[in-house]
């Protein structure tokens, strides 16, 4: 018995080619109710004088089987480790995976371009509150409560009587209260209008406000500044046009447009077109007066009466639509990666 048992066990061990298969063989021979254990349990039935030699024989067989088992187990483990290392090997010479990088929002790009231009012209850049007091948004800008111009700008009112600013012109007032002339400032930020949205209107959009105050500032300074800005944005050939317009806080007031020739349009033989970009004008004396009143209340000197200055306000959305060929203002804030994703990567590109 023992010889054949040992021989068959070894044959089975050698042909087990996975650790699982080896486990089955192991249980079959040396497990708790395996064949070896069964042999040992039958010792009791032998005459006492045979038990000792028989027991020793069985032990030799068991140790023989166990040794082969251990060796086979070690070699199967080694093989499976080798296979794992092989399959998980890393080729360090492969190129790395590209890390998708974000990009600047088209509105941010246009703002950056604008701020660059005005910084070069010596303007100070400031930001101000979106939740504003009526006085700064309307009253001090020569728009009293009964003034029909308030209807031009349907307003989001807050329960406490404050409002979401309808334009960045509030910063003209705030800046002048804090600073004495001569001054040049631009202010960027969000503005809100309570109106239905369509391809060219949003309830929230952006503006850039500009203000210059000093001695003897004239309308031609304003025109030169707007032309400089248009050329900085759209190239040396950009043409600007001014048309009379009405804003209570300027006198005279104008709207300005840029003649824009899309390079693609040129190829298609299409003429360019005039695009209205914003409003501007000479600061109304009533605004200077209101600012001096606010300054006086704050214990500061009245320094604005008798000064002259100009102001302008424009919408980067219009510029971005023009510059990047975006047909609908709502795309800017729809968070659609298909739209915004096109602006990934290149910085300050056209």
Measured CA to CA, the distance from residue 80 to residue 60 in angstroms comes to 30
313 near ligand PHE, rule: CB under 6 A: yes
Measured CA to CA, the distance from residue 210 to residue 188 in angstroms comes to 9
Size of the site for ligand PHE (CB under 6 A): 12
284 near ligand PHE, rule: CB under 6 A: no
Task: Verify cis geometry, omega within 30 degrees of 0, for the bond prior to 6.
Answer: no
Pick the piece of the chain touching ligand PHE (CB under 6 A) from 19-27, 290-298, 308-316, 331-339.
308-316
Pick the piece of the chain touching ligand PHE (CB under 6 A) from 68-76, 117-125, 126-134, 310-318.
310-318
Task: Specify the residue, 186 or 311, whose C-beta has the smaller distance to ligand PHE.
Answer: 311
185-224 mask for ligand PHE (x: CB under 6 A)? Answer: ----------------------------------------
311 near ligand PHE, rule: CB under 6 A: yes
Task: Specify the residue, 6 or 153, whose C-beta has the smaller distance to ligand PHE.
Answer: 153
Residue 202 CB, nearest approach to ligand PHE (Å): 14
291 near ligand PHE, rule: CB under 6 A: no
Residue 219 CB, nearest approach to ligand PHE (Å): 12
Measured CA to CA, the distance from residue 80 to residue 82 in angstroms comes to 5
* Chosen residue from 34, 128, 189, 281 binding ligand PHE by CB under 6 A: 281
- Beta carbons within 8 Å of 318's beta carbon, 6+ residues apart: 275, 276, 277, 278
Pick the piece of the chain touching ligand PHE (CB under 6 A) from 1-9, 127-135, 245-253, 258-266.
245-253
Across the strands, what pairs with 257?
Answer: 241, 276
* Chosen residue from 279, 317, 318, 329 binding ligand PHE by CB under 6 A: 279
87-106 mask for ligand PHE (x: CB under 6 A)? Answer: --------------------
Number of neighbouring beta carbons within 10 Å of residue 49: 8
Runs of H (alpha helix) within 168-304: 170-178, 219-234, 263-267, 285-297
Measured CA to CA, the distance from residue 290 to residue 166 in angstroms comes to 19
* Chosen residue from 250, 277, 287, 340 binding ligand PHE by CB under 6 A: 250
Distances (CA, A) of 140 to 58, 174, 248: 109, 10, 10
316 near ligand PHE, rule: CB under 6 A: no
* Beta-strand relationship, 124-126 and 239-245: unpaired
Distances (CA, A) of 59 to 40, 41, 48, 230: 9, 13, 17, 100
280 near ligand PHE, rule: CB under 6 A: yes
Task: Specify the residue, 12 or 317, whose C-beta has the smaller distance to ligand PHE.
Answer: 317
To 5 degrees, how large is the angle CA 303–CA 308–CA 310?
A: 120
Residue 346 CB, nearest approach to ligand PHE (Å): 31
131-170 mask for ligand PHE (x: CB under 6 A)? Answer: ------------------------------------x-x-
Residue 232 CB, nearest approach to ligand PHE (Å): 19
By CB atoms closer than 10 A (0-12, 13-18, 19+), residue 247 is: buried
128 near ligand PHE, rule: CB under 6 A: no
* Beta-strand relationship, 273-283 and 183-192: unpaired
Runs of H (alpha helix) within 257-348: 263-267, 285-297, 316-324, 337-340
Give me 16's structure tokens.
């087990």
312 near ligand PHE, rule: CB under 6 A: yes
Task: Specify the residue, 222 or 320, whose C-beta has the smaller distance to ligand PHE.
Answer: 222
Residue ranges binding ligand PHE (CB under 6 A): 167, 169, 247, 250, 253, 278-281, 311-313
């Amino acid at each position: 018995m023992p010889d054949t048992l040992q021989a068959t066990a070894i044959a089975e061990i050698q042909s087990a080619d996975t650790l699982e298969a080896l486990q089955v063989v192991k249980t079959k021979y040396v497990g708790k109710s395996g064949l070896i254990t069964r042999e040992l349990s039958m010792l009791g039935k032998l005459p006492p004088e045979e038990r000792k030699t028989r027991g020793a024989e069985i032990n030799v067989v068991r140790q023989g089987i166990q040794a082969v088992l251990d060796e086979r187990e070690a070699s199967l483990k080694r093989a499976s480790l080798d296979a794992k290392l092989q399959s998980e090997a890393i080729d360090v010479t492969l190129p790395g995976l590209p890390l998708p990088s974000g990009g600047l929002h088209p509105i941010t790009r246009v703002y950056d371009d604008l701020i660059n231009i005005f910084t070069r012209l010596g303007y100070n850049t400031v930001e101000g509150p979106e939740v504003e007091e009526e006085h700064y948004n309307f009253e001090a800008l020569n728009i009293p409560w009964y003034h029909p111009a308030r209807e031009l700008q349907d307003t989001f009112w807050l329960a406490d009587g404050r409002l979401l600013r309808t334009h960045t012109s509030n910063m003209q007032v705030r800046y002048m209260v804090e600073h004495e002339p001569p001054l040049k400032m631009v202010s960027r930020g969000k503005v809100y209008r309570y109106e239905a949205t369509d391809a060219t209107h949003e309830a929230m959009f952006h503006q850039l406000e500009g203000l210059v105050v000093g001695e003897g500032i004239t309308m031609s300074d304003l025109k030169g500044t707007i032309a400089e800005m248009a050329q900085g944005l759209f190239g040396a050939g950009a043409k600007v046009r001014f048309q009379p317009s009405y804003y209570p806080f300027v006198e005279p007031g104008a709207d300005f447009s840029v003649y824009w020739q899309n390079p693609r349009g040129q190829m298609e033989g299409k003429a360019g077109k005039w695009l209205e970009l914003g409003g501007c004008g000479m600061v109304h004396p009533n605004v200077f007066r209101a600012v001096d009143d606010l300054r006086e209340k704050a214990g500061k000197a009245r320094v604005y009466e008798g000064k002259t200055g100009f102001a302008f306000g424009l919408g980067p959305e219009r510029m971005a639509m023009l510059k990047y060929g975006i047909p609908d203002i709502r795309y800017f804030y729809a968070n659609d990666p298909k739209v915004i994703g096109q602006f990934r990567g290149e910085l300050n590109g056209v």
